Amino acid sequence: MFSNKSILITGGTGSFGKRFVAHLIKHYTPKKLIIYSRDELKQFEMQQTFNASCMRYFIGDVRDKERLKAAMREVDYVVHAAALKQVPAAEYNPNECIKTNINGAQNVIDAAIEADVSRVIALSTDKAANPVNLYGATKLASDKLFVAANNISGAKGPRFAVVRYGNVVGSRGSVVPFFHKLLDEGVKTLPVTHKEMTRFWITLDEGVEFVVTNFQRMQGGEIFVPKIPSIRILDLVESISGNREYEEVGIRPGEKLHEVMVPEEMAHHSLEFEDHYVITPAIKFFDKTVDYHKNKLGEIGQAVAEKFEYHSGTNPHFLTVDELATLDKATI
Ligand SMILES: NC(=O)c1ccc[n+]([C@@H]2O[C@H](COP(=O)([O-])OP(=O)(O)OC[C@H]3O[C@@H](n4cnc5c(N)ncnc54)[C@H](OP(=O)(O)O)[C@@H]3O)[C@@H](O)[C@H]2O)c1
């Protein structure tokens, strides 16, 4: 699907972008892989590893629509991964988060329509479901923009879909590297915001593969949610430190005890497939005949139960301490 195609990745120097590029180079022969991000140093460093002839490095901000339009010329597929994603930073600098995550999303949509790209997938987060912090709220607004973009792109224009998933094991600024850093500094008791906390847990490779497959599945307008395991925070502490000793430091502003990926309020238009869920658009304008029960790969989905909710605390699949330790060794 990606061989001989041009693919642009906003936020291509981030954790997701680099792994996505590695995956495409390993499994396909893309015509062009365009990295779109702001910081020249991150791009320079990425070029030391990713220097295949298909690689292109564009300095640009998603807040700059004209630059995005130039970067998307003759592009087939776009992955929109650029975002401000630190919850406290978003609370402290709300307008900056809005400019990147919401205005930036609309710019990506406008540029994709103008450049007539074929398909766009935007990355979202569990924090966008029933959001309680500004980061989540901006990602929810971004999700809504991408779903609705199908209505303005016309019957033959680009198709837009969203991929929503939970905590990425070991990603920049996340809890696993934080715990390792504290232990390396000699801290004996790890800080835990609340001992009952649960989270959805996905590896970067699983996230990349899910995005790649959804380019093949998508019809436009879907929010794709993978079926992934949950973790209990004290199991994570034990898997990293070897014991369950912790210091409870209290829930941080904008933090939830559990996360949700498919809210109960969305159950009436959500579908279950073998390894994922799909939240279908509440309003369908662009193609009233599209049937989300059967995707482009021919997979069949069923309506979820009326009060269904995909919730990290009630998820039937939790990772054990041993599984977490194995995963930790594989990702550090
Ligand atoms: N990591 C997770 O646990 C997780 C979980 C669920 C969903 N997600 C979502 O997955 C996506 C990718 O996350 P990630 O972990 O790869 O993030 P990351 O490692 O922090 O990378 C973010 C990327 O976005 C770029 N960027 C930031 N602001 C930009 C702007 N205004 N214009 C252009 N590029 C900009 C950054 O480069 P520059 O700073 O050089 O511009 C960087 O390349 C995000 O949309 C995030 O919301 C992440």
- What DSSP string describes 67-122? HHHHHTTT--EEEE------HHHHHHSHHHHHIIIIIHHHHHHHHHHHHT-SEEEE
The rounded Cα 12 to chain-centroid distance in angstroms is 13
- Report the separation in Å between the CA atom of 87 and the middle of ligand 1, taken as the mean of its atom positions: 13
pLDDT at residue 285, rounded to an integer: 67
67 lines ligand 1 (CB under 6 A): no
Fold of 6-166+202-227+262-311: Rossmann fold (3.40.50)
For residues 310 and 107, give the distance between their C-alpha atoms in angstroms, rounded to a whole number. Answer: 31
- What DSSP string describes 206-224? HHHHHHHHHHHH--SS-EE
13 lines ligand 1 (CB under 6 A): yes
Catalytic residues, by residue number, are 127
Q: Which residue ranges make up each domain of the chain?
A: 6-166+202-227+262-311
15 lines ligand 1 (CB under 6 A): yes
Residue 100 CA: which ligand 1 atom is closest? 31
Strand-pairing partners, residue 260, are 311
31 lines ligand 1 (CB under 6 A): no
Residue nearest (by alpha carbon) to ligand 1 atom 19? 14
Q: Which residues of the chain have pLDDT under 50?
A: none
- Report the separation in Å between the CA atom of 37 and the middle of ligand 1, taken as the mean of its atom positions: 9
Residue 165 CA: which ligand 1 atom is closest? 6
Residue 167 CA: which ligand 1 atom is closest? 3
| φ, ψ of residue 117 in degrees (nearest 5) | -70, 165
100 lines ligand 1 (CB under 6 A): yes
Strand-pairing partners, residue 302, are 272
Which of 23, 61, 85 has the most ligand 1 atoms within 8 A of CB, as the residue to mutate? 85
pLDDT at residue 328, rounded to an integer: 80
| φ, ψ of residue 58 in degrees (nearest 5) | -110, 120
226 lines ligand 1 (CB under 6 A): no
